[in-house]
Amino acid sequence: MSDKPRLWITRKLSAATEARAQRDYDVIPNPEDEVFSAEELIAKSAEVDAILPCHSEVFSADVAARLSDRVKIIANHSVGVDHCDLAALKAQGIVVTNTPDVLSDATAEIAFLLLLGAARRASEGDRMVRAGAWTSWSPAFMVGQQVTGKRLGIVGMGRVGRVMARRGRGFDMEVHYYNRKRLPPELEEGATFHDNLDDLLAVSEFLSLHCPATPETTDLMNRERLAKLPAGAILVNTARGALVDEAALIEALQSGHLAAAGLDVFRQEPGGNPAFAALDTLFMLPHIGSATRDTRDAMGFRALDNLDAFFAGREPADRVA
Ligand code: DGY
């Protein structure tokens, strides 16, 4: 029997992450990348000291209460922890960690791709060319919104939000933000702070969401808030689907109040919202904000760093519960 901690890696991770995990832990891997149900999570927990899950595994209060007391730590392979009921896991004495920082560049890349793609009608154009439906050209053809020099509003000026702000500055955008707390000048880098969301919405020709999903931010962009954006604004969401009321978004796009939107995250994942398919003004991706080779390795290593610290009797750097 191995004297290494027994670790369940619930999804298929990068080869480098799995090799390091196999070296240091007694690993139960998931080479077929199966998705486990709540009942399976509970049953399997009796076999392990630690779990390394992704945001696809949901540790609700009910699951947390029924996990084996053998499990001492859940070291998430994600920065978002809305799939974990942190209070319930803490009450079970389970340490929870996440992987901040390492995915900020990759996620901001996807946010900017969505911003540009939505503004310049990328999915519509791509579909047209593929379908052989590009039959004419004129100066009035496929005219979109220019990004350069416009105002970019950022909700949540944390790590990803600040990288997004920098990318926006690269396009000469004027950056505005709303955050729970105003940042110090060296982190603000010239961005204009708004102490309430409505004021930010009023000036945001482009609005990009970078805050976590919590009970307070669920439906943050509802009908009333979408109406506060300037006519012709563009919304980008790479954070969590729960932040946007999807029925209200469809109405705002259909009425033309919003010119377009770019989404990497949805209320229903995987799958997305079937009603979105009819909207040419939506540019969508399947939750791939952090999906680069570099970032997958960095996320895996960060989760393993947290496990290593925990099993060495130290405080994991990214403890969230
Ligand atoms: C995160 O890390 O939260 C990303 O959404 C991928 O899970």
Question: 248 and 217 in one domain?
Answer: yes
Question: 297 and 277 in one domain?
Answer: no
| Structural domain for 91, as ranges | 6-102+293-311
Question: 145 and 212 in one domain?
Answer: yes
Say whether 269 is catalytic. Answer: yes
User: What is residue 45's predicted lDDT score, i.e. its pLDDT?
Assistant: 98
Whether the pLDDT of residue 255 is over 80: the answer is yes
User: What is residue 108's predicted lDDT score, i.e. its pLDDT?
Assistant: 98
Q: Is 290 in the pocket of ligand 1 (CB under 6 A)?
A: yes
**Ligand 1 centroid to 270 CA: how many Å?**
13
Which atom of ligand 1 lies at the shortest distance from residue 98's CA? 2
Q: Is 114 in the pocket of ligand 1 (CB under 6 A)?
A: no
User: What is residue 13's predicted lDDT score, i.e. its pLDDT?
Assistant: 98
Residues 292 and 133: beta-carbon distance below 8 Å: no
Whether the pLDDT of residue 1 is over 80: the answer is no
CA nearest to 167, candidates 138, 210, 224: 210
Q: Model confidence over 185-224: pLDDT tens digits?
A: 999 999 999 999 999 999 999 999 999 999 999 999 999 9
CATH number at residue 72: 3.40.50.720
Rounded Cα distance between 166 and 310, Å, is 35
Collapse the DSSP code of 283 into the 3-class scheme (helix H, G, I; strand E, B; otherwise coil) and give the result: strand
Question: 265 and 120 in one domain?
Answer: yes
Q: What is the token pair recorded at 27? A: 């690993």
Q: Model confidence over 155-192: pLDDT tens digits?
A: 999 999 999 999 999 999 999 999 999 999 999 999 99
Give mean pLDDT, residues 54-62: 97
Which atom of ligand 1 lies at the shortest distance from residue 54's CA? 7
Q: Model confidence over 265-279: pLDDT tens digits?
A: 999 999 999 999 999
Of the pLDDT bands very low, low, confident and very high (cuts 50, 70, 90), residue 56 is: very high
**Ligand 1 centroid to 50 CA: how many Å?**
20
Question: 122 and 178 in one domain?
Answer: yes
The domain total for the chain is 2
User: What is residue 63's predicted lDDT score, i.e. its pLDDT?
Assistant: 98
In a domain, 320, yes or no: no
Give mean pLDDT, residues 283-287: 98
User: What is residue 2's predicted lDDT score, i.e. its pLDDT?
Assistant: 85
**Ligand 1 centroid to 70 CA: how many Å?**
26
**Percent of the chain scoring above 90 in pLDDT:** 99
Question: 118 and 221 in one domain?
Answer: yes
Question: 175 and 90 in one domain?
Answer: no
- Residue ranges of the alpha helices (H) in the chain? 15-24, 38-45, 61-66, 86-91, 104-119, 122-130, 159-170, 185-188, 197-203, 223-228, 246-255, 293-311
Give mean pLDDT, residues 242-248: 98
Say whether 287 is catalytic. Answer: yes
Question: 302 and 274 in one domain?
Answer: no
Q: Model confidence over 109-147: pLDDT tens digits?
A: 999 999 999 999 999 999 999 999 999 999 999 999 999
Rounded Cα distance between 31 and 35, Å, is 11
Give mean pLDDT, residues 104-110: 98
Strands in 258-263's sheet, in edge-to-edge order, are: 192-194, 174-178, 151-155, 206-209, 233-237, 258-263, 282-284
Nearest CA to ligand 1 atom 1: 78
